[in-house]
Amino acid sequence: MSSSANAVLQAEPAPIRACTVSRDVQIFDLLIEDMEAALGEAWGDLGFSDALSFLEQPDAGDLEFIAIALDAEDEADLSLVIDIVAAAKARDIKVILITEDVSPASLHKLLKEGGDEFVPYPLPEGELVRAITRSRQPAHAAPVDDVPDENRTKIKATGDRSGVVIPVQGMAGGTGSTTLAVNLAWELAGVDGADAARVVLLDLDLQSGSVSTYLDLPRREAVLELLSNTDAMDSDAFMQALLTFQDKLQVLTSPSDLIPLDLIGPGDVQKLIEIARTNFDYVVIDMPKTVVEWTETVLSEAHIYLATLELDMRSAQNTLRLKRAMQAEDLPFDKFRFALNRAPGFTDLSGKSRVKRLAESLGIAIEVLLPDGGKPVAQQADHGVPLGVGVPKNALRKEIMKLARSIHEINVGEEVEGRKKARKT
């Protein structure tokens, strides 16, 4: 065989379409696997010191994206990483950030400086491929967070309210905290008929929040942008990130991407709640199941803090641990109002006795008894409608409606009393 024929048979090396950039890519072994699965051999690897010089070379013009992998040790070189991001953006190269144990402040800065996508490490299944797909979206295409007109919030910021803050947290998974948060917010939005209250529902379960599913609302890129730069957040930016359900309930969904719970800190959450309560009469917050560094912030801002539990050992143990932690830190545990999900019926004397023993053993008062609404509860969640819309006569819906009315009556009574005192002074 001639040498020319042999040359024809030799495969051309695949062009490099992407590069990882890290201190040592071997630290991120899952990233190597996912890059090979997504790109085969059409990717390379650069160290931080080499990345800047490479991005100035003509060959860098063929890159679609760079994947910058960071851990806590790399925060000391954050200025160099920011320079790499800037160099990539100057060449119109997308930047995917892959971080492990990086502080929220550093992540904020990198996203603000031009990071296009964020993926936590260890990499969730398929998340890198989804990030790559989003990064390849042409600039003229409709934005990822484009939403139908009927879901766009039409109300404007007022800044003249002093809303009631009502977080809802489950003492264990599956105790109905999101069901309560969504349906309580919906009932509050309609509790006063024609003179309806302004209600916003914040989904702060940043990783597994499902409020958007329960109300059939799209998740928005605007939410991550809002949370990533709260320094620039004002009432107008907050309102623009909201979606509406049937023009009655305003919703801040959890972000479209999986993000770390510490992406936001206590200061970010305090500002978010403050802007929400100055524009709405009620601020209902669906909390993550875990206690995070900003849980104390939410508790301090809350007027009442609803906690859902069930008649089982896991709920009892977690409630007791939470109570001890709150009291050890001298936090306002008295703000907690416990709601028992799937509570025994009126005629179930044995079940009612168990509820009493549970409350006594934990040293708490179980003030809200939520009946088992049966299969329709899960069905309505899957259909993306509140119980009051889909099954208005459901027993669980009726109890949540009573709770909403009780909260509203107390709030209105306090407002009237406050105005009377103001006139006297």
pLDDT value for 116: 84
Concatenated DSSP letters of 160-200: ---PEEEEEEESSTTSSHHHHHHHHHHHHHTTTTTSPPPEE
pLDDT value for 194: 56
Which tens digits make up the pLDDT trace of 162-202?
999 999 999 999 999 999 999 999 999 998 765 789 999 99
* Report field, pTM of the whole predicted structure over 0.75: no
pLDDT value for 79: 92
pLDDT value for 307: 97
- 5 half-sphere exposure, CB direction, 13 A CA radius: 2
CA distances from 67 to 73, 200, 405 (A): 17, 36, 51
Give the residues of the chain that fall short of pLDDT 50.
1-11, 139-144
Is residue 95 a contact partner of residue 88, using CB atoms and an 8 Å limit?
Answer: yes
Query: What's the length of the chain?
Result: 425
Q: What is the spatial distance between Cα 52 and Cα 390, in angstroms, rounded to a whole number?
A: 57
pLDDT value for 413: 72
Is residue 210 a contact partner of residue 177, using CB atoms and an 8 Å limit?
Answer: no
pLDDT value for 119: 86
E-assigned strands of 188-295?
A: 199-203, 243-245, 249-252, 282-286
Cα dihedral: 187, 398, 206, 305 (round 10): 90
pLDDT value for 4: 44
Number of helices (H) and strands (E) in the chain: give both, helices first.
Answer: 17, 13
pLDDT value for 138: 62
Q: What is the spatial distance between Cα 87 and Cα 65, in angstroms, rounded to a whole number?
A: 12
